[in-house]
Structure 1
Amino acid sequence: MHNRSILNNLGQVVALGGDHGLGRVMSSLAFLNSQLTGIVTTTDDGGSTGRIRRSEGGIAWGDTRNCLNQLITEPSIASTMFEYRFAGNGELGGHNLGNLMLKSLDHLSVRPLDAINLIRSLLKVEAHLIPMSEQPADLLAIDLMGNKIYGEVNVDQLTSLPQKLMLSPQVSCTPEALDAIHNADLIIIGPGSFLTSLMPLFLMNDLTQALQACRAAIIYIGNLGKELNQPAANMQLTEKIAMIEKHIGQQKIDAVIAVPVTDTSSLPDRIVLQRKLADQNVFYRHDRDLLRQAIEDMAHKIHQLKPFNLSPYPNAS
């Protein structure tokens, strides 16, 4: 187990995102147990998730399922079932049983959040996971020609940066997510597909207002390599941060964690930490231990410049 760290001494740590990126952050900080909350993007319309949405409606479950998969520490029959994916070309082929379990519990529950909490207790996951909204919405882009491009899958195919991104319909943020942001000491944004996993969160007005008002230190974690999405791949880190802060309405990101090749020269007013973070076996994924250590070290740096308003740390140096 990790030695007691500066992160343990924070009241609440909140991570925002989707995709595999949020799962990596959540699993690298899983030792925080109930002090950790993930706010998950729910606009995915591809793969098993997309098929379930087209058939049954509702929010996208895939990113939540991915986070839960990465947070499972006690293997069990339930966890094996949750991670199972059907093979073949039949009706069930390609479907992930975890998505179907979440969807079925959603039908049986009053709220999607209840379904997540039931699965969390079944899988013995301590960290909290909250969907960004409990109302179904899709990502909508307006391209350079003024055309409306509906859905994450189609937005991913764009060859140039859209002139506008929005949610269709415009939905409100889950109240518990707003509470988590309000009570957070540290907020982590990213890594993940910028336009489709991160930006949907900042298209909700109540979420950006909560970020504007929050007292937490905010860290942005950059991706390891170039994104598959061409417009996002062409964006500099500074452009991504500028786009997020334009939606928040003010400069709020205090710190940036990035790999050594990233150009951070235009970030003079942020705390920057650059180091190798890639998993040795899967070069395009963050190594959990290296990521945890980077977040830990960044928390120390932030504390030295802008102390967290907490009881004294036994091991802050």
Structure 2
Amino acid sequence: MASTTDRWTEQNIPAQDGRVAVVTGANSGLGLETARALAEQGAHVVLAVRNLDKGREALAGIRESAPGAKLSLQRLDLASLKSVRAAADELRAAHPKIDLLINNAGVMYTPRQKTEDGFDMQFGVNHLGHFALTGLLLDLMLPVPGSRVVTVSSVGHRIRADIHFDDLQFDRSYNRVVAYGQAKLANLMFTYELQRRLAPYHSTIAAAAHPGTADTELSQNLSGLVRKGADLLQPLFSQPASVGALPTLRAATDPAVTGGQYYGPNGMGGTRGYPEVVASSKKSHDTALQQRLWAVSQQLTDVTFPV
């Protein structure tokens, strides 16, 4: 574990007054904790959620801890490109600029399912939905000094992970661990390629983060024996969602962050601890694969970027 001088916490978040932050999946878990912390520091936080009722509950909860918080709600279903486009249009109408886009929402180890557009659910929600949303909002961020796109990945990007270009949607065979690994690897490749495109001309940066092993609803799709094992090990390796959100918050707010950095917990093999710059897999840094994934993602979403 790090020394006390390395313990970056919510108290290190600079004032966020005047900043607009869009947080996907902000109704629970990591997204809710991220939204709450940013709101408490003065940001106008947009909770971009699929379920508006749960979003309203989250909004009310944040207001309890931050009575003067500036909050708004935006419906966003990342499993539907139609919904992503509608949300982007509404956000553009409501906000002349965006300082932070935090691509946090995700699904993990789901049974075999397809999105509205026929994508594998994990690849479609975790990667393609966020890819499209970012492309549709990026021009609101480029003129804003200090603006950032932060995408949440996972230690799962190392587990049986590859980009299966010959069967991206797992039409021929499906393994939920492999599908999750592909989606989380894609999150990192997207971040690194976006940063490369931003770097020559813009002050906007792209960074990534992972929460380690956080106590959230993501584990709900684990199968029987695996779920029981995870429950037994949770006290040893898991940490509260508020701590799991710290890498995301640091990537989003620390003035020392530079484009292309990846933040995660610094203890117990990256499963828990305080946020610091961490390494991602060798494959995630494969430039040719990043560029191929970018091209395919543009084709699948019909979204092009202004960079």
TM range (shorter): 0.3 to 0.5
TM-score of the superposed pair, with normalisation by structure 2: 0.44
Q: Which has the larger radius of gyration?
A: 1
- Greater helix fraction, Structure 1 or Structure 2: 2
TM-score of the superposed pair, with normalisation by structure 1: 0.43
